[in-house]
């Protein structure tokens, strides 16, 4: 099948959606499809077998495009749409596979050229917009209607988590829908990472967070919970990997004001190929997310590392995590602090949760499982 994969993202970059897009494109290429991948102008050039990468036109002055809804991203989306039309004119595509807001570009191309499309739901865009711009809440019904139209007009839906799958089935119960979760990125590492304990001078227990430092990730909750916990146990340290320089500086100042700067270490971004090596250095892995309904990609690698996971008790986590493989707490400061202290004080619990989590991810969220789901979905996909 000849597929135009529309992914309005900087590509390639070591962060959530671009990593997922790379995995999908590589899998489709391995399974014999001819994939044309359309992405933003920004990103690293990489080679993927059976995948041709097309970039939208560069927009003067636009760079460092962040994840989530931003004005920069919306402007770039327009240029992706223009490029998609040109590609559809030049090629006989059998199918469009549209990621996130790329579905609206796919709907337009579908109208112009009658090319069927797959809606790859990586997030619930209406919820994402309202969480970022609460003043738009009165428009939620209208935004949900547009999302529903995108599902109904598609030939199939790929949902990244249970919450999105449930939404798609509510919109179109009879539609071909597959839940295609992210997978662990621990396998296939490039080598051993630096020894963080040695480099940072850490002698006690190490908590670790990996990911961007956007507001929805709950770093404010984590820092305040850590402040309270470290006031009761003096051997705790927090290592934060990831984030832009601006976000790092803002949170470093926050840690300074809270009096915990000597125990909180901001390491900045690190290569995803060494993720497992970093995770295994931690005693406790933390995901304090406070918003959203899609499961963070890092959760699968957290689980695969064999280290215990402390996470907020929200749907974004609980559709994958439960009390047998993680320690879940309410998204409030006191509960976060207590969760840190409970895990820090119980080595047997940490070991038990880590072992069970690793078994779960190997059974349900491995690369072979991912590839099988993609193959089954495209085999069942009707594009007549």
Q: What is the pLDDT of residues 12-52, one digit of tens each?
A: 988 888 999 999 999 999 999 999 999 999 999 999 999 99
CATH number at residue 218: 3.40.50.2000
Same domain, 162 and 18: yes
pLDDT 10s digits, 252-303: 999 999 999 999 999 999 988 899 999 999 999 999 999 888 899 999 999 9
pLDDT 10s digits, 112-166: 999 999 999 988 777 777 777 788 778 778 888 889 999 999 999 999 999 899 9
Q: What is the pLDDT of residue 16?
A: 81
Same domain, 166 and 266: no
Residue 275 lies in a domain: yes
Residue 191 lies in a domain: no
- Grade residue 191 by pLDDT with cuts at 50, 70 and 90: low
Tally Cβ neighbours within 10 Å of residue 204: 14
189 vs 104, residue with greater confidence: 104
Question: 193: which DSSP letter?
Answer: P
Total number of domains constituting the chain: 2
Angstrom distance (rounded) from CA 286 to CA 340: 9
Q: What is the pLDDT of residue 190?
A: 56
- Could you tell me if 202 and 196 are in contact, meaning their C-beta atoms sit under 8 angstroms apart? yes
Q: What is the pLDDT of residue 138?
A: 81
Angstrom distance (rounded) from CA 350 to CA 270: 25
Tell me the whole-structure pTM to 2 decimals.
0.85
58 vs 110, residue with greater confidence: 110
Same domain, 37 and 102: yes
Which range marks the domain in which residue 306 is found? 196-363
């Amino acid at each position: 099948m000849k597929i135009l994969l529309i992914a309005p993202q900087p590509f390639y970059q070591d962060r959530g959606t671009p990593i997922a897009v790379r995995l999908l494109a590589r899998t489709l290429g391995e399974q014999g499809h001819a994939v044309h991948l359309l992405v933003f102008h920004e990103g690293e050039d990489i080679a993927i077998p059976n995948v041709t990468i097309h970039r939208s036109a560069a927009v003067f002055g636009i760079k460092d495009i962040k994840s989530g809804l931003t004005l920069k991203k919306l402007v770039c989306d327009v240029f992706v749409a223009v490029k998609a039309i040109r590609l559809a004119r030049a090629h006989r595509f059998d199918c469009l596979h549209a990621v996130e807001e790329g579905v609206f570009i796919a709907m337009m191309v579908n109208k112009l050229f009658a090319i069927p499309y797959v809606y790859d739901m990586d997030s619930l865009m209406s919820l994402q917009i309202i969480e970022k711009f609460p003043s738009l809440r009165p428009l939620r019904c209208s935004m949900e209607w547009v999302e529903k139209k995108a599902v109904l007009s598609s030939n199939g839906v790929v949902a990244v988590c249970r919450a999105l799958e449930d939404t798609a089935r509510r919109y179109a119960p009879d539609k071909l829908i597959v839940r295609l979760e992210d997978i662990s990125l621990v396998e296939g590492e490039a080598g051993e990472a630096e020894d963080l304990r040695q480099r940072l001078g850490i002698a006690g227990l190490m908590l670790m967070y990996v990911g961007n430092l956007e507001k929805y990730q709950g770093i404010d909750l984590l820092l305040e919970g850590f402040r309270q916990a470290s006031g009761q146990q003096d051997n705790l340290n927090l290592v934060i990997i990831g984030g832009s320089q601006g976000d790092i500086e803002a949170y470093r100042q926050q840690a300074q004001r809270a009096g915990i700067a000597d125990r909180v270490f901001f390491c900045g971004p690190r290569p995803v190929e060494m993720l497992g090596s970093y995770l295994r250095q931690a005693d406790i892995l933390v995901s304090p997310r406070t918003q959203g309904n899609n499961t963070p990609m890092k959760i699968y690698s957290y689980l695969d590392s064999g280290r215990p996971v402390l996470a907020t008790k929200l749907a974004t986590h609980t559709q994958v995590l439960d009390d047998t493989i993680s320690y879940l707490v309410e998204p409030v400061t006191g509960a976060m602090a207590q969760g840190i202290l409970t895990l820090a004080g119980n080595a047997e619990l940490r070991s038990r949760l880590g072992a069970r989590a690793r078994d779960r991810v190997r059974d349900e969220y491995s690369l072979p499982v991912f590839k099988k789901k993609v193959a089954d979905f495209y085999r069942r996909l009707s594009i007549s």
